[in-house]
Amino acid sequence: MEKLTGLKKIKTAVFISGAGSNLKNLIEFSQKKNSPISINLIISNTNKAEGLKYAHKFNIKKKIFCYQNNKVIEKNILIFLKKHKINFICLAGFMKILSSSFINKFNHKIINIHPSLLPKYKGLNTHERAMRNKDKFAGCTVHYVAAKLDSGKIIMQKKIKIAAKDNAISLAKNVLKIEHKLYPEAILKIFG
């Protein structure tokens, strides 16, 4: 990924499907002077994503793409991103899998946050799986998006201890807290 040159921030779109706590965190980060990115677009695959409220709150353009035919939708998303001169994508709880064609066309400038210490627990229900396996540690990973789910090059990870009293819900909360630290740090690492 190229280094940041001059004062211009990298126009970024955040893709969400749910609560959007990472989105909110990235928006707040983007408003800091040292942030290499600006958040110019919020994209969701559903109008039920709670995180869409941050579009209004922070005055950021939002767009919902309801998936029926993946190929057509991805084509429309690409056109929309181009129209808004978006150069970078952060996935933050986006529940759709992007095709390799989309990833290639966007020049691999797509990153994701995943709530496990990859390569452990790709896919869903990461915290339940960590609890079931009686893991001692959990964590989160920011990685480049590749065609294979949760398998792209790892940028950064953060680790926490799983306490004896933890369950999948408390663990999810604790991991989310470190996700909010890790995502900006990983972006600074990429462009810093």
CB of 78 vs ligand GRF, minimal distance in Å: 22
Any contact of residue 78 with ligand GRF (CB under 6 A)? no
Q: Is 114 a catalytic residue?
A: yes
Which residues pair with residue 176 across a beta bridge? none
The Cα–Cα gap between 111 and 146 comes to 9
Indicate whether 179 belongs to the interface with ligand GRF (CB under 6 A). Answer: yes
Is position 139 an interface residue for ligand GRF (rule: CB under 6 A)? no
> How far is Cα 38 from Cα 169, in angstroms, rounded to an integer?
32
Q: Which is nearer to ligand GRF, 4 or 146 (CB)?
A: 146
User: From the list 13, 14, 40, 114, which residue makes contact with ligand GRF (rule: CB under 6 A)?
Assistant: 114
Select which of 84, 108, 114, 180 is catalytic.
114
For 97-118, b/e burial (b = at least 16 CB within 10 A) is ebeeebbeebeebbbbbbbbbb
| 115 near ligand GRF, rule: CB under 6 A | yes
Q: Which stretch binds ligand GRF (CB under 6 A): 11-19, 100-108, 129-137, 145-153?
A: 11-19
108 or 122: CB nearest ligand GRF:
122
115 cis-preceded (ω within 30 degrees of 0) = no
Asked if 93 touches ligand GRF (CB under 6 A), the answer is yes
Distance (Å, whole) CA 173 – CA 78: 33
Contact by Cβ (8 Å): 141, 110 = no
**Where do contacts with ligand GRF occur on this chain (CB under 6 A)?**
16, 18-23, 51, 92-93, 113-115, 140, 176, 179
Residue positions annotated with a catalytic role: 114
